């Protein structure tokens, strides 16, 4: 098995100013491709320490991936450290990355400064993998014994974008053994421990067939169940995994929202598009998060008409048509207000479906509606469904859970109407 180390370079991580998410993304991708991550490290912007540490990692790992320290400013010193480590005697300017630098700055209407051009300079022993997402290139270096070191920028979306390019290079340089097959399905609305109990016998049967199961929980997407196997041919692997998957449906029913690797908003979009239907949203406590999630999907303008964030009561009444007496009688956080909000925005936009939220993300709450309470409404030609949920997180996390749960209730109602 190929062994890898992941090194994050930058003082901002060592003083706890930012949380390192790049390493987790890279590690997950390595693991999916059958590469064992031996260790992760975070180093400060100190030349000698970077050189020494990377040298030691290359003794024990086949692949070392660094992120960070490639910016144009003086505190970014990964490049000279890699020059020293690789025995480079100077720098060369990479024409492909230079073109990208020009293109990016031009498109932003910015002047091109010497410091920008220097972004395309790499140690002469580096092989450049052009980075289309930013001005700093991805670099690869070869070391004794065919080992490879990759350096990517630390900007998260650039590091993310570099992963498939690095994997492609790894596949070229390291002969792989067996094939790895992964299949994921998505589950929402059950805790990890409860899910684990529910499918325990099924999970045991998987193990007997050399299929590994991973639970990958996420606030916005629920739990991803990932099945992986390295045993057998690709054809055998597919057949085996399909057989086990078919036994999962009766166990989990509509807790499963996707048999692929889709998030909730993509699933809702796919269902609406297929049915030729539209949706709108009326958000109070989620403050725009549902609309934001729906519109992260390319092409969402085909089914998402719009939304109203009604933070103030006046907006609930005036724009959405929620009745003042409903609020007076039941309170803002109530099934009745959720229902009138959903029906209100459905009428206002003329959409087929509408989803609404009213609740308390916190901090603060009261006895009848503690912090973390949300009422969700889903309106359609079938009528209005309302659901109450209670979470126990901080404000940001509560907002995410409210929005994801609302999307899931919307998803279930769309499925029921088909």
Rounded Cα distance, 138 and 154, in Å:
11
Closest approach of Cβ 381 to a second copy, in Å?
19
Task: State the number of binding residues for a second copy (CB under 8 A).
Answer: 113
Pick from 369, 368, 371, 346: which is nearest to 356 by CA? Answer: 346
Distances (CA, A) of 62 to 4, 115, 171: 6, 33, 12
| Residue 349 lies near a second copy (rule: CB under 8 A) | yes
| Residue 137 lies near a second copy (rule: CB under 8 A) | no
| Residue among 288, 321, 331, 365 that touches a second copy (CB under 8 A) | 288
Helix residue spans in 125-248 (DSSP H): 156-173, 192-198, 200-208, 234-246
Closest to a second copy by CB, 125 or 189: 189
Per CB under 8 A, the segment of 19-27, 123-131, 165-173, 410-418 that binds a second copy is 19-27
The strand pair at 63-67 and 3-9 is best described as parallel
Rounded Cα distance, 227 and 211, in Å:
6
| Residue 216 lies near a second copy (rule: CB under 8 A) | yes
- How many CB atoms are located within 10 Å of the residue 260 CB? 11
| Residue 363 lies near a second copy (rule: CB under 8 A) | yes
Residues of this chain, 154-173, that bind a second copy according to CB under 8 A: 155, 157
| Residue among 177, 231, 260, 301 that touches a second copy (CB under 8 A) | 301
Closest to a second copy by CB, 241 or 281: 281
Closest to a second copy by CB, 38 or 173: 38
Closest to a second copy by CB, 13 or 404: 13
Rounded Cα distance, 291 and 403, in Å:
9
Structural contact between residues 104 and 120, judged by C-beta atoms closer than 8 angstroms: no
Encoded tokens for 43: 């180093």
Per CB under 8 A, the segment of 120-128, 241-249, 251-259, 392-400 that binds a second copy is 392-400
| Residue among 231, 233, 254, 311 that touches a second copy (CB under 8 A) | 311
| Residue 350 lies near a second copy (rule: CB under 8 A) | yes
Peptide bond into 363 cis (omega under 30): yes
| Residue among 121, 169, 203, 317 that touches a second copy (CB under 8 A) | 203
Rounded Cα distance, 92 and 94, in Å:
6
Torsion over CA: 29, 30, 34, 37 (sign): negative
| Residue among 25, 96, 270, 323 that touches a second copy (CB under 8 A) | 25
Per CB under 8 A, the segment of 85-93, 113-121, 245-253, 266-274 that binds a second copy is 113-121
| Residue 88 lies near a second copy (rule: CB under 8 A) | no
Distances (CA, A) of 322 to 53, 331, 383: 63, 12, 17
| Residue 243 lies near a second copy (rule: CB under 8 A) | no
| Residue 268 lies near a second copy (rule: CB under 8 A) | no
| Residue among 309, 334, 356, 408 that touches a second copy (CB under 8 A) | 309
């Amino acid at each position: 098995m190929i062994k890898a180390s992941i090194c994050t370079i930058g003082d901002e991580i060592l003083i706890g100013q930012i949380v390192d998410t790049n390493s987790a993304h890279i590690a997950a991708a390595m693991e999916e491709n059958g590469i064992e991550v031996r260790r992760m490290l975070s180093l400060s912007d100190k030349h000698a320490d970077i050189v020494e540490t990377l040298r030691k990692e290359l003794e024990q790992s086949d692949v070392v991936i660094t992120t960070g320290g490639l910016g144009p400013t003086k505190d970014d010193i990964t490049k000279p450290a890699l020059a020293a480590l690789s025995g480079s005697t100077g720098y060369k300017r990479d024409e492909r990355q230079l073109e990208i630098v020009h293109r990016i700055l031009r498109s932003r209407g910015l002047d091109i400064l010497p410091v920008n051009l220097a972004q395309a300079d790499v140690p002469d022993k580096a092989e450049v993998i052009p980075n289309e997402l930013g001005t700093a290139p991805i670099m690869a270096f070869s070391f004794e014994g065919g080992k490879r070191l990759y350096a990517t920028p630390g900007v998260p979306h650039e590091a993310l974008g570099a992963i498939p390019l690095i994997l492609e290079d790894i596949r070229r340089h390291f002969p792989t053994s067996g094939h790895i097959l992964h299949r994921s399905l998505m589950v929402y609305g059950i805790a990890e421990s409860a899910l684990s109990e529910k499918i325990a016998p099924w999970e045991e049967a998987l193990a007997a067939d050399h299929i590994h199961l991973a639970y990958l929980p996420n606030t916005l997407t629920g739990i991803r169940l990932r099945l992986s196997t390295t045993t057998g041919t690709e054809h055998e692997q597919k057949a085996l995994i399909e057989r086990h998957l078919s036994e999962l449906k009766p166990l989990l029913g509509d807790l499963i929202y996707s048999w692929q690797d889709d998030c909730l908003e993509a699933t809702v979009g796919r269902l609406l598009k297929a049915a030729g239907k539209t949706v709108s949203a009326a958000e109070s406590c989620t403050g725009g998060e549902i609309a934001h999630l729906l519109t992260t999907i390319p092409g969402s303008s085909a089914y998402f008409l719009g939304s109203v964030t009604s933070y103030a009561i006046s907006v609930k009444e005036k724009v959405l048509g929620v009745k003042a007496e409903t609020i007076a009688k039941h309170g803002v956080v109530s099934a009745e207000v959720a229902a009138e909000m959903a029906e209100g925005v459905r009428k206002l936009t003329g959409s087929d479906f509408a989803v609404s939220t009213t609740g308390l993300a916190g901090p603060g709450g009261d006895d009848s509606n503690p912090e973390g309470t949300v009422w969700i409404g889903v309106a359609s030609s079938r009528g209005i469904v309302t659901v109450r949920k209670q979470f126990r997180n901080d404000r940001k996390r509560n907002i995410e859970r409210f929005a994801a749960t609302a999307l899931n209730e919307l998803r279930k109602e769309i499925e029921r109407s088909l």
